[in-house]
Structure 1
Amino acid sequence: MTLTKEQTAMKDMYTRTNSELLGIILGVSEDSLNVRGLSDIMDHPQAILGIGEKKAEKLYAIREVTKRLMEQPAQRMTSIKSPEDAYEYAKAKLQYEDREHFAVIVLDVKHHILAMPIISIGSLTASVVHPREVFREILKYPAVAFIMVHNHPSGDPAPSSNDIEITKVLVNAGKLMDIPALDHIIIGRGKYNSLKNMGMID
């Protein structure tokens, strides 16, 4: 079967290195770019030799377009049936953030998704979360349950002692409010942990 010019061009892109692809996007020689991992480039482009303010702005725009494309399947998801569903819904919004973002997926009686408000934005290693702020957001909706989600900018989704402590606090608060916390999903780069699956939530 003969490929069209468009198909040939797309196939050619699959074989290109990261340096070559960035060179094409930015209109520069790949030799002028000191390229490291793609995630580092997209998070901190001006730290790369050969990328100035205008080229960095173009990369930020590409990152945002890519993020929105990744969100589209998640936006079509209407209910949460498993930890993996929660991860798939939240990952496009959170996994590439360079600071910790703590959010909750608010669910109705059939575990349909009502909203996913961001509660707190913290540092590279931690976010500060107060139960009153969490429930202030949850109570804006006819919520029956919620799932905690947050990202680890390091890419490692292993729970910290602070993650475990805030999970206990919010699980107990949920019991008092009769709006149970079903899980706490920690999002890394391409992987996640479910504190329920780890036995930390009943």
Structure 2
Amino acid sequence: MAYLKELKVTFTRKRVDDDLLNKPVESPGQVFALFKDMQDETKEKVVVLHLNPQLEILSYEVAAIGSATATLMEPVEIYRNAMLARASSLIVVHNHPSGHCKPSEADISIAMKLHELVEIHGMPLQDFIIIGDGIYGSFREDGRF
């Protein structure tokens, strides 16, 4: 006898201000307001926001948790559940427990890879945001893409 695997996707909820949801994500500051609690994490974490065509948040997922100084971000992990959520585009949010929001070489490399995968997946990376201690850095605002 063989077994067939059933894929189950479940959702949990995060309590946020009513003012922050059900409207398009128009700035990295809006994303920072939603996920500023990541500044208190002791390990690096990667959160992916799944957006609809109007740039409203459909869902989010914690795609990776690493150590105090690094995390492994694989494009396949970033895009897998975004596709299941039927996202039109995405935003990657990543914290630096050190408190600084300057992107590392690894951050720049993965952000550029994700940005280039638009042609394959048809799902644009709207922004790559790094959260530090009370501050954030945005690849979109910095003109990196």
Give TM-score, length-normalised by structure 2: 0.84
CA contact (8 A) 1:106 1:138 kept: yes
Establish whether residue 195 from structure 1 lines up as the match of residue 130 from structure 2: no
Structure number with larger C-alpha Rg = 1
Structure 2 residue aligned with 1:83, among 10, 14, 28? 28
Can you give the 5+ residue segments of structure 1 that lack an aligned partner in the other structure?
Answer: 1-67
Structure 1 residue aligned with 2:108, among 156, 164, 183? 164
CA contact (8 A) 1:109 1:144 kept: yes
Deviation track 1:47-91 (CA, whole Å, cap 9, x = no partner) reads xxxxxxxxxxxxxxxxxxxxx8xx532785223111111221222
Pick the structure with more helix per residue.
1
The one-letter code of the counterpart of 1:85 is: Q
Once residues 111 and 90 of structure 1 are traced to their aligned partners in structure 2, the CA distance between those partners, rounded to angstroms, is 17
SS in 2 for 1:72: coil
SS in 1 for 2:115: helix
Which range moved further: 138-147 or 79-88?
79-88
Query: Could you tell me which residue of structure 2 aligns to residue 175 of structure 1?
Result: 119
The CA deviation at 1:175 is 3.0
Deviation track 1:105-153 (CA, whole Å, cap 9, x = no partner) reads 1100111101110111011111101111111111111211101110000
- Sequence identity (%): 33
The 5 A counterparts of 1:132-151 are 132-151=76-95
Deviation track 1:145-185 (CA, whole Å, cap 9, x = no partner) reads 10111000001111111100000011111332110001100
Once residues 75 and 107 of structure 1 are traced to their aligned partners in structure 2, the CA distance between those partners, rounded to angstroms, is 17
Once residues 74 and 192 of structure 1 are traced to their aligned partners in structure 2, the CA distance between those partners, rounded to angstroms, is 22
Check 1:145–1:73 CA distance in 2 against 1; reply closer, same or farther (3 A cut): same
Check 1:151–1:160 CA distance in 2 against 1; reply closer, same or farther (3 A cut): same
The 5 A counterparts of 1:57-136 are 72-73=16-17, 76-78=20-22, 79-92=24-37, 94-136=38-80
Aligned length: 131
Q: List structure 1 runs of 4+ shifted beyond 3 angstroms.
A: none
Compute the RMSD of aligned alpha carbons. 1.7
CA contact (8 A) 2:131 2:137 kept: yes
SS in 2 for 1:84: helix
Pick the structure with more strand per residue.
2
